[in-house]
């Protein structure tokens, strides 16, 4: 059974700092991996989708990398801002079986302080 872990569960950084969020998964047979952001009391916003054949994806200040063989993905946030404060979730989709079944991590709660 696929398990997705995100460590740390919470992180606080000062504004302007570059930071890395980690996501690890136990089964490397994945089709793709998706990073989301969730603001308190809100739904999930898709940030980046990395297909298994890709090594990284970039969107603005965000860069996500994928190392499928080692079961790891990182989300790099450059020059953090208070508006980046949210919970960040990663989710993996299986290579075979139920295609729609995303397995989610429990998230990293990020606080960017002034």
Partner 1 sequence: NAGVTQTPKFQVLKTGQSMTLQCAQDMNHNSMYWYRQDPGMGLRLIYYSASEGTTDKGEVPNGYNVSRLNKREFSLRLESAAPSQTSVYFCASSEGDRAYEQYFGPGTRLTVT
Which parts of this chain interact with partner 1 (CB under 8 A)? 4, 31-32, 34, 36, 41-46, 49, 51, 89, 91, 93, 98-107
Among 88, 93, 94, 92, smallest CA distance to 106 is for 88
CB of 49 to partner 1, least distance (A): 5
Nearer to partner 1, 34 or 73 (CB): 34
CB of 61 to partner 1, least distance (A): 19
CB of 95 to partner 1, least distance (A): 9
Q: Write the DSSP symbol of residue 41.
A: T
**Contact status, residue 86 vs residue 37, Cβ threshold 8 Å:** yes
Nearer to partner 1, 69 or 100 (CB): 100
Nearer to partner 1, 76 or 104 (CB): 104
Q: Is residue 85 exposed (0-12), middle (13-18) or buried (19+ Cβ within 10 Å)?
A: middle
Residue spans of alpha helices (H) in 8-99 = none
């Amino acid at each position: 059974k696929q398990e997705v872990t995100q460590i740390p569960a919470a992180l606080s950084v000062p504004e302007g700092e570059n930071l890395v969020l980690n996501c690890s998964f136990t089964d490397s047979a994945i089709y793709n991996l998706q990073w989301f952001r969730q603001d308190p009391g809100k739904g999930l916003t898709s940030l980046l989708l990395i297909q298994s054949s890709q090594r990284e994806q970039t969107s603005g200040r965000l860069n996500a990398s994928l190392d499928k063989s080692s079961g790891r993905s990182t989300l790099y946030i450059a020059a953090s801002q208070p508006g980046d404060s949210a919970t960040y979730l990663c989710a993996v989709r299986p290579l075979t079986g139920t295609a729609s079944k995303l397995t989610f991590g429990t998230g990293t709660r990020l606080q960017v302080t002034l």
